[in-house]
């Protein structure tokens, strides 16, 4: 057995230089593991609540360390259930989702270490997976919305390498297109910064122009839009008033551009509009994933409602939206049982922790989002590089 001997935490800075936490779990067999917790700027109201870093650390020191002492780290669901009970609220507002998730993730990593297993294999073992495949990256190369200071309404303009066999080839192709976007912006004399997720944040252009730049850059890199690369959009819609008009505009976008994914096309409680769009896309016979992020918030009950109402056919999985690894795995299993595609995702305020790479492989996610393939954003690239290493092993 590997029993919990000590749970501790410290404050660190995320990629926006805002405070977050790192949790360390030490076990009786001499193993230890750490997990650091990201944060989102664009948050849904149904997410579990993260507390200020200092408060989360105090709750780990004063509550979780004491109450989980001596528990076997292999008992993931028991530990997660206990922490939910210690908190006693619907949104983890007592102990904090960051304290609970940090502990839950570090427990899982400690258990994997105690079993001398790679993390992705340990995750797979928890849900009965024996064959592992690599997710396809969704590279957020142009940032807008709340993730950038520009005129773009849509939050993420992403390229998706779909015609490459190996993950490492997809990563290299994504880097090539990303660099071509920068060259194109320079050539057009468009000033830009970088957004929260490492993508370009160009000044003075609208959404359709950003899409045109993606097409041009894919071609300039020597690839074919619609064959080698597709496009995915995170609309992050919160203020749509004319839903019928919005459905029509999305259908027109799909006709004009090689779009394979629409994320959060409506706000988190506009269930009828989600269903209308999803059915319209199904009737168009286009292979497009309608991806729920804020509407589902990695929450089992909300996913169940989405399945019943035919609101989407894919789900974003963000561990800090729900707060424990056990809940994440329950959501994943329900999604798979109902033919939903899974997109494991980072957050806009990230840390160097590459856990979501192992999670994506372990649960068999079709896609992973970790921002732009930008060498200047190590908190993003760490996930992609970890995936390349996993690919070499499997």
307-336 pLDDT, tens per residue? 999 999 999 999 999 999 999 999 999 999
Average pLDDT, integer, range 338-358: 97
Query: What pLDDT, on the 0 to 100 scale, is given for residue 382?
Result: 97
Which of the following is catalytic: 318, 379, 383, 391? 318
Asked if the model's pLDDT at residue 239 lies above 70, the reply is no
Residue 36 has pLDDT above 80, yes or no: yes
Rounded to 5 degrees, φ, ψ at 225 are -60, 135
Strands (E), 117-164: 136-143, 156-161
Tell me if 383 sits within 8 A of 354, measured CB to CB: yes
The neighbour count for residue 85, using CB atoms within 10 Å, is 9
Look at residues 24, 27, 155 and name the one whose alpha carbon lies nearest to residue 37. 24
- The burial of 235, by beta-carbon neighbours within 10 Å (0-12 exposed, 13-18 middle, 19 or more buried), is given as buried
Q: How far apart are CA 56 and CA 344, in angstroms?
A: 25
Q: Which residues are bridge partners to 202 per DSSP?
A: 192
Q: Which domains are seen in the chain, by residue range?
A: 4-116 (3.30.390.10), 136-393 (3.20.20.120)
Beta strand segments in 235-385, E: 259-263, 289-292, 314-317, 341-345, 367-369
d(CA 119, CA 293): 25
What is residue 238's predicted lDDT score, i.e. its pLDDT?
72
Of the candidates 304, 303, 276, 283, the one whose C-alpha atom is nearest the C-alpha of residue 292 is: 303
Phi, psi (rounded to 5 degrees) for 184: -65, -40
Indicate the pTM of the whole model.
0.96
* Per-residue confidence (pLDDT) for residue 259, from 0 to 100: 97
Residues 6 or more apart whose Cβ sits within 8 Å of residue 17: none
Residue count (the chain): 394
pLDDT at 1: 85
Other CB atoms closer than 10 Å to residue 67's CB: what's the count? 15
What is the average pLDDT across 112-130? 96
Phi/psi of residue 24, nearest 5 degrees: -120, 130
Catalytic status, residue 18: no
* 3-state SS class at 323: coil
The rounded distance, in Å, linking the Cα atoms of 300 and 304 is: 6
Decide if pLDDT at 44 tops 80. Answer: no
**Could you tell me which of 107, 27, 75, 147 has the C-alpha nearest to residue 323?**
107
Give the closest residue to 245 by CA, choosing from 259, 265, 228, 225. 265
Inter-helix orientation angle 97-114/76-87, to 10°: 160
Provide the percentage of residues in the chain whose pLDDT is more than 70: 98
Is residue 176 among the annotated active site residues? no
List 34, 180, 197, 391, catalytic entry: 197
pLDDT-based confidence at residue 40 (cuts at 50, 70, 90): confident
Question: Which tokens sit at 85?
Answer: 């009970």
Encode burial over 302-321: b for 16+ CB neighbours within 10 A, e otherwise. Answer: bbeebbeeebbbbbbbbbbb
């Amino acid at each position: 057995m590997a029993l919990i001997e000590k749970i501790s935490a410290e404050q660190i800075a995320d990629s926006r230089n805002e405070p977050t936490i790192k949790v360390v779990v030490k076990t009786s067999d001499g193993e230890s593991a750490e997990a650091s917790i990201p944060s989102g700027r664009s948050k849904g109201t149904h997410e579990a609540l993260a507390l200020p870093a200092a408060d989360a650390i105090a709750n780990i020191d004063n509550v979780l360390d004491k109450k989980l002492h001596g528990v076997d780290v292999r008992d993931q669901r028991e530990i997660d259930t206990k922490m939910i009970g210690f908190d006693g609220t619907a949104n983890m507002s007592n102990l904090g989702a960051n304290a609970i998730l940090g502990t839950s993730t570090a427990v899982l990593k400690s258990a994997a270490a105690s079993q001398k297993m790679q993390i992705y294999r340990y995750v797979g073992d928890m849900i009965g997976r024996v064959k592992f495949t690599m997710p396809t990256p969704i590279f957020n190369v142009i940032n807008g919305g709340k993730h950038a200071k520009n005129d773009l309404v849509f939050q993420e303009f992403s390229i998706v390498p779909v015609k490459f066999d190996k993950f490492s080839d997809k990563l290299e192709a994504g880097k090539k297109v990303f660099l071509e976007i920068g060259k194109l912006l320079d050539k057009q004399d468009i000033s830009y910064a970088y957004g929260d997720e490492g993508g370009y944040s160009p000044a003075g252009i609208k959404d359709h122009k950003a899409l045109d730049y993606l097409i041009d850059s894919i071609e300039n890199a020597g690839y074919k839009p619609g064959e080698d690369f597709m496009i995915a959009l995170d609309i992050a819609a919160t203020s749509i008033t004319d839903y019928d008009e919005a459905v029509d505009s999305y259908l027109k976008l799909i006709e004009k551009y090689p779009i394979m994914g629409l994320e959060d096309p409506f706000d988190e409680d506009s269930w009828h509009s989600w269903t209308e769009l999803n059915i319209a896309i199904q009737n168009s016979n286009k292979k497009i994933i309608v991806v729920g992020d804020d509407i589902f918030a990695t929450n089992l009950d909300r996913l169940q409602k989405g399945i019943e109402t035919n609101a989407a056919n894919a789900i974003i999985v963000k561990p800090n939206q729900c707060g424990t690894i056990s809940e994440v795995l329950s959501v994943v299993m329900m999604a798979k049982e109902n033919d939903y595609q899974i997109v494991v995702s980072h957050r806009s305020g990230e840390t160097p922790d590459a856990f979501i790479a192992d999670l994506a492989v372990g649960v068999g996610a079709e896609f992973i989002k970790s921002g732009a393939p930008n060498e200047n954003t190590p908190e993003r690239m760490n996930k992609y590089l970890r995936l390349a290493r996993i690919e070499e092993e499997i």
